[in-house]
Amino acid sequence: MDTFLQVVVNGVMLGGLFTIVAIGLTLIFGIVKVINFAHGEFLMLGMYLTYLLTVGWGVHPYLTVVAVAPALFVFGALTQRFIIQPLLAAKDDHVQIFATVGLSTALINLALMIFGADIANTPASGLRSAIELGPVRILAGQLWIMVAAGVLVFVLHMMLNHTRTGRAIRAVSQNRAAAQLMGINVQWMYILTFGIGAACVGVASTLVAPLYPTSPTIGTYFVLTAFVVVVLGGLGSITGAFLGAMIIGLIDSLSGFYIGSDLREAVVFGVFLLILILKPSGLFGSHTTLSHVSP
């Protein structure tokens, strides 16, 4: 029983990790309606920035969030303004997808030029130490990631539902033309949303960097699962992304332990495809959207 409980707890912690990586992606898609294939590379940039600040200045990795999150916000806003926005009027929506794929490739190669293919290890600062909670053990870093995931979901929920800016964002998500007629600057909402989504990735990178080695291709490791989480939870759903991440985390942990670690990805994607066949909109897509994000 203790072993099963440990596996379940590991799955929940993994779900928290998937949440913080995927939440920015689902926010961007829910508003801008663009699938950002460079999302993993945003995470990679944040992890490298965390590494440089931690090693160069000797600060705790988590304290770098005060620089990393704003830096990613600016980078995301500039990406929207100068790469995505000029393409929004294109007749073929695939042009926007190709643009983010091109940005992804460019960022990976830029990282290879600057840092090389060597792995960079951000100092753990005690975050890999185990905490015993009764019969289960949790890494300190995993616990902080889970807490951060809950806080991010709550903050975004409150912002979207109880602030003027949040209501404007939701209005743009529901009907762009109507939002413009009501005096909302749609282009600014797109830039702001893309920036917020990128800032969420910045927060994720400061939490992930002490636990995972940083390399130019580290984003690929996370982004595939992030896309699964976003689609499973319902494209554009904040709470759906959280619940989808928990499901994927549990499936990953349980299948890895009881079936085999080399088959867990096959199980995850197999369940993912089965759910899409039965419910193409995702498990929570019809109930939790950016236009209605109440749990």
Q: How many CB atoms lie within 10 A of CB 104?
A: 21
Give the HSE-up count for residue 110: Cα atoms under 13 Å, Cβ half-sphere.
11
Sorted by where each begins, the domain ranges of the chain are 15-123+137-221
pLDDT score, position 174: 86
pLDDT tens column, 92-103: 777 888 999 999
Q: Which residues contact 43 (CB under 8 A, 6 or more apart)?
A: 21, 201, 204, 205, 208, 218, 219, 222, 223
- End-to-end CA gap in the chain: 31
How far apart (Å, rounded) are the C-alpha atoms in residues 238 and 149?
Answer: 11
pLDDT score, position 254: 93
Q: How many CB atoms lie within 10 A of CB 277?
A: 8
Model's pTM, two decimal places?
A: 0.91
Residue ranges, the chain, pLDDT below 70:
1, 91, 285-295
Please state the separation of Cα 87 from the chain's center in Å. Answer: 23
Q: What is the residue-wise DSSP string for 225-291? A: HHHHHHHHH-TT-HHHHHHHHHHHHHHHHHHHHHT-TTTHHHHHHHHHHHHHHH-TT-SSTTT-BTT
pLDDT tens column, 18-72: 999 999 999 998 888 888 999 999 999 999 999 999 999 999 999 999 999 999 9
260: left (phi over 0), alpha (psi -120 to 50) or beta: left
